Chains A and B, each alone.
Chain A
């Protein structure tokens, strides 16, 4: 695998700053996925998704963990620091500004409907990421089963996420290990 030239820290900063500032309605992870994988190709889909799974298993907020993961992967300690700082800068000032203005904003009836619209679009972005992740998983029987088992366990049955992952992950990883060895052998 040949290494592409390192991504400049300034580009990491400007990207994550914009993601933080634009991410109305939440779902920042799908923004990061769009920009880092789909638009810029800094990481492969599989690389990003495994990092995202890691970010969800680890304690902390998923989106900031994902920013740390991507930053670390691109530029080590500085990359991680720059990514998370940049991503939180805009929202930090925005949330305070919203706090200052809220008496005028919250009382207004249109706000609720606008927020519903924004949230629905953000959820659509998440669904789009889910479709591309699902496509990757649907390439084989084992990954498709792993995806389904996780969805049924966490989403449908609402079992604790860590417990479900602790059962599904070892099986899924071992299966892909043997499949890969069989491919090479």
Chain B
């Protein structure tokens, strides 16, 4: 695959992932690693793990790993192309679904679907939290923080999350420095 056009390759890797990845960003990490490290040798496994860590460090969805990979292999143009390839197909599909869905607002069956889907969303949120706690990277301090933040936001809904994020970062950092 040495003569393969790198831009074309980015599109052929990411556009199918856009549609195939059901359940969010976590579904794209393994295939991305397979394509970029094992199949095409664009980077070493170590470099891939570094990029993964960088993407988590930056704000935004974890799937921004894809534009970062595009940037690494083909500069800013590669990053832009990767963003479009990853997000455009699924967004068009979602737009179509949202359009059909929102056109029928107010009808009895629509209200029934809405009322029927909301508790499922609630179940999925709690499943997501459990899944993240299961990853094992979290200690008692993290659990305590999760509960504290949720409580604070229930008490003061308009409290700005950025403030909490800053405090969280500071507290964890200070505890790290203190050797806890």
Which residue, B87, B126, B141, has most C-beta atoms of chain A within 10 A? B126
Taking a contact as CB atoms closer than 8 A, the residue among A95, A128, A130, A168 that contacts B58 in the complex is A95
B114 adjacent to A50 (CB under 8 Å): yes
Main secondary structure on chain B at its contact with chain A?
A: helix
B44-72 contacts to A, CB under 8 A, are: 50-51, 53-64, 67-68, 71-72
B157 adjacent to A53 (CB under 8 Å): no
* Residue A10, interface by CB 8 Å: no
Provide the residues of chain B in CB contact with A112, threshold 8 Å. 176
Provide the residues of chain B in CB contact with A144, threshold 8 Å. 119
Bound-state CA distance A149–B171 (Å) is 37
* Residue B19, interface by CB 8 Å: yes
Provide the residues of chain A in CB contact with B112, threshold 8 Å. 173-174, 176-177, 180
Residues on B lying within 8 angstroms of A by beta carbon are 18-25, 50-51, 53-64, 67-68, 71-72, 76, 79-80, 83, 86-87, 89-91, 93-95, 97-99, 101-102, 106, 108-109, 111-133, 137-138, 141-142, 145-150, 152-154, 157-158, 161-162, 164-165, 167-173, 175-177
Residues on A lying within 8 angstroms of B by beta carbon are 1, 20-26, 28, 31, 34, 38-39, 45-47, 49-65, 68-69, 72-73, 76-77, 80, 84, 87-88, 90-92, 94-99, 102, 105-106, 109-134, 136-137, 143-144, 146-151, 153-156, 161-162, 165, 168-169, 172-177, 180-181
